[in-house]
Amino acid sequence: MAYKKTAIVSVYDKTGLLDLAKGLQENNVRILASGGTAKMIREAGFQVEDVSTITHAPEMLGGRVKTLHPAVHGGILARNLDSDEKDLQDQKIEKVDFVVCNLYPFKETVAKIGVTIPEAVEEIDIGGVTLLRAAAKNHSRVAILSDPKDYPQFLQELSADSNNEISQNLKNKLALKAFESTSDYDTAIADFFRKQYSENESQITLRYGANPHQKPAQAFISQPYDQLPFKVLSGSPGYINLLDALNSWPLVKELSGSLNLPAAASFKHVSPAGVAVGLPLNDVEKKIYFVSKIENINKSPLACAYARARGADRMSSFGDWIALSNVVDLPTAQIISTEVSDGVIAPGYEPEALALLQKKKNGKYCVLQIDPNYVPDALETRSVYGVSLQQKRNDAVITQSTFKEIVSQNKHLPEQAIIDLTVATISLKYTQSNSVCYAKNGMVIGLGAGQQSRIHCTRLAGDKADNWWFRQHPKVLAFQWAKGVKKPEKSNAIDLFVTGQIPTQEPEKQEYESKFSVVPEPLTEEERKEWLSKLNNVALSSDAFFPFPDNVYRAVRSGVKYIAAPSGSVMDKQVFGAADSFDLVYVENPFRLFHH
C-alpha cells in the first residue's frame, strides 16, 4: 500500500485514540506505534506497525527505550531541503508527518500521599518529551498532537485536504501547546525534586498560604541560582510574612541607598505602616514612640529609623513585619524585643542582637537574613486565577534629583523637604495603590493605601498625619497611666483620645478609663484647632496625579508645604493653581508609581 503520510503515535492518555486511528486509516495514513498504544490500536482492528519496524531495534529496558532512535527523530526533524533529503536517502529513513504523543502522569503520581522518589522517577517521560519537542521544533512541516481535545479538528483538516495537508495555522497552535506541555512537565519535575533535594536552600515549605485552608504553600526560586536569597535564622515564615518581607526589603534597601542613611520599614498586609530613615530623636519623639528606656538610642541611626517607622502609626504597626537596611545592632533589637511583631528581615545581625531576637516568642520569632547583593530578574511574573501576568520589574530610581521639575511659583525646596519627599515617594513605590503619603522629619507620618478614590487616600493619610501630631500634644505627654498597662493598650487609648473617639457608653468607657490613674480631660475644639495649626513643613507624595484641587485643600489642613506628584490630569492647571494659592512647592514627579 502506498501511504500518503506517516504518523507516529505514542500516548499514555488513550482518550480518543481509536477515533483518531480510524480517521488516520480512512485517510490512508501509515500508523507507527509503540507498546500499549500499538496493542490497543491493533486489538481494535486497525492497521498499525510497531516502531521497531523502522528502527530495527526492539523495545528495551522495560519499555524505557522505544522511540529514541535516528530513524524516528531523523524522520521527524527532516526539513524539505535537498541536504536533508540526501541524508534520509543515505540512511534509508522516511519522513514522519504527524506525531501523536502525551506523557506519563508525573503530576498525578507525585500528588499522591507518601509517594517515594523511585515511584516518581518511573513517571519521568523521556522518549515522549523528546518526540514532543522534536515535532514542535519542526512544526513548519510536522503536526504535533499532544492533547486529545485537538484530534477532531486535526481529522477534519486531514479529511478536507486532498493531500492530507494540515494548515500552518493549526500546526503553529499545536506546536505552542506541545512546548507548553513540556514546559509544564519539566516544571512539575523540578518542583518535586526541589522539595526533595533543596529544602531550606532553594525551597521552603510554608504552613499554609494567605489563609489556613490554602494548602499546600511554598516559597522557591527557579532562576539559575543555587539558593533562596534569604536564610531563615529563627522561626518559620508564612506566606504573608514573605510577601511583606520581599516587598519591604527592597524599600529600605532603595531608600537607604538614595539618602545614604539607615532605613527601616514597618509592614502590614503588603503595604508600609511606617517608613523612616535614621535621624536623631528628640525627647518628645522618644516618649511617644516608647523608646525612652533604650540607652544611647541616638548613637544607633538604625534604631532611630525603626523607632520612627514603628512609632508613626502604632495602631497599624501592631503585629508588623520589620525590614532594616543595615546590620541589626543591639539597640534596634531591644526595641523589636519589646514590641508585638511577626518577624524581621535584614542583611545581618550582630551576635548580641541575634541572640536577643532568637529568644522572642520562645524561639519562634521569625528572623530572616537577606543577601544584600541579590538582584531579581528584570521580568516578574505572577499567577492570578490561573492566568500568568508578566511585566518588567519597577526599576524606577528615586533620588534627590527626581524632585527638580518644580511647577509652582514657589521654587524653594530645602534639603529636609527633599529627604522627606524621597522617603514618601519611595514608600509609595511599595504601597498598594491608590496611595498618598505624608512625611516629616525623615519618616512617614501618614499613609493612605489601596483606596479606590484619590481624595480618600489623601484624607486617610492626612488623618493619620494629624493623629501623629496630636500624640505630641502636652496633654498626651502628661498622661498618667495605671500600673501594669501595656504598650498596645496605651497605643489604643492614645488613639481614641487624639481622634476624639473617647468612649461614652459602658462597658467601653470603663475599659478606657481603667488605663489611667488620672483620666485625662478631652481636647476641646479650640485646643485641637490651635495645636493642628502648628503642624507645618510636611511633605506629601502621590503615586499618580491629583485629578482635582480638593486633594491640595485637604493636604494643606495637615500642614503640607511640599507636594510631589505626576502630572497628566485635565485639571493640572487648577491643581497647580490651588498649590500656588497656598504658596506651596509643587514638584512634578516623572514616574507614576502604581503597585499591586
pTM of the model: 0.85
DSSP 231-294: EEEES---HHHHHHHHHHHHHHHHHHHHHTS-EEEEEETTEEEEEEE-PPP-HHHHHHTT-TTS
pLDDT of residue 290: 95
Write down the catalytic residue from 269, 287, 456, 490: 269
pLDDT of residue 52: 84
Which residues lie closer than 8 Å to 326 by C-beta, 6 or more apart? Answer: 256, 262, 302, 346, 347
Q: Do domains 5-196 and 232-370 have the same CATH topology?
A: no
Cα–Cα distance for residue pair 587/144, rounded to 1 Å = 58
Cα–Cα distance for residue pair 202/101, rounded to 1 Å = 32
Where are the domains positioned within the chain? 5-196, 232-370, 395-462+525-595, 474-522
205 has which bridge partners?
A: 218
Task: Indicate the Cα dihedral angle 112, 115, 121, 126, nearest 10°.
Answer: 0
376: amino acid identity, one letter? P
pLDDT of residue 110: 86
Is residue 137 annotated as a catalytic residue, yes or no? yes
Sign for the pseudo-dihedral over CA of 499, 504, 509, 513: positive
Is 474-522 CATH 1.10.287.440? yes
Q: Which residue has the cell 500521599?
A: 113
CATH class of segment(s) 395-462+525-595: alpha beta
pLDDT of residue 200: 82
pLDDT of residue 68: 76
Buried b (16+ CB within 10 A) or exposed e, 568-586: ebeebeebbebbeeeebbb
Contact (CB, 8 A) for 434 and 592: no
pLDDT of residue 2: 62
Long-range contacts formed by 372-380: CB under 8 A, 24+ apart = 372/253, 372/347, 374/229, 376/229, 377/223
What are the angstrom distances between the C-alpha of 389 and each of 185, 324, 380?
20, 30, 8
Cα–Cα distance for residue pair 71/95, rounded to 1 Å = 9
- What are phi and psi for residue 493, nearest 5 degrees? -65, -40
Write down the catalytic residue from 14, 107, 137, 490: 137
Cα–Cα distance for residue pair 228/231, rounded to 1 Å = 7
Report the 10 Å Cβ neighbour count for 69.
Answer: 18
Q: Is 439 helix (H, G, I), strand (E, B) or coil?
A: strand
pLDDT of residue 1: 57
CATH class of segment(s) 5-196: alpha beta
E strands, 23-97, in order: 29-33, 49-50
Is residue 139 annotated as a catalytic residue, yes or no? no
Mean pLDDT, consecutive 10-residue segments, the chain of 596 residues?
A: 84 94 94 91 93 79 75 88 87 92 88 87 88 95 96 95 92 96 91 86 88 90 78 94 96 96 96 97 96 94 97 95 98 96 97 97 96 91 88 93 95 97 97 96 96 96 98 97 95 96 96 97 96 98 96 98 96 96 97 94
Q: Can you give 382-428 as a three-state secondary structure string?
A: EEECCEEEEEECCCCCCCHHHHCCECCCCCCCCHHHHHHHHHHHHHH
Which residues lie closer than 8 Å to 478 by C-beta, 6 or more apart? Answer: 520
406 has which bridge partners?
A: 587
DSSP 139-153: TTT-EEE--GGGHHH
Fold of 232-370: Cytidine Deaminase; domain 2 (3.40.140)
